Amino acid sequence: MVAFVMLCSSIEKYNHLAKVVLACKVHWWNILVENIYKSR
């Protein structure tokens, strides 16, 4: 039971981390596209 709870919490942490990484990628992609658009 304890192992199951630990597994679930670690999956939750990983999902949160994945969301943060995805948000960062989207953020930097938007900045990149804006810079390319402005420099044209």
* Domain assignment of residue 20, given as a range: 16-40
Gap between the Cα atoms of 18 and 11, Å rounded = 10
User: Residue 16: its pLDDT value, please?
Assistant: 86
- The total number of structural domains in the chain stands at 1
User: Residue 8: its pLDDT value, please?
Assistant: 82
Please tell me the total number of residues recorded for the chain in this structure.
40
pLDDT tens across the length of the chain (40 residues): 788 888 888 888 888 888 988 998 999 999 999 999 998 8
Give the CA diameter of the chain.
59
* Residue 37 domain-assigned (yes or no): yes
* Residue 2 domain-assigned (yes or no): no
User: Residue 12: its pLDDT value, please?
Assistant: 87
User: Residue 34: its pLDDT value, please?
Assistant: 93
* Residue 10 domain-assigned (yes or no): no
Query: DSSP labels for 4-38?
Result: HHHHHHHHHHHHHHHHHHHHHHHHHHHHHHHHHHH
User: Residue 35: its pLDDT value, please?
Assistant: 93
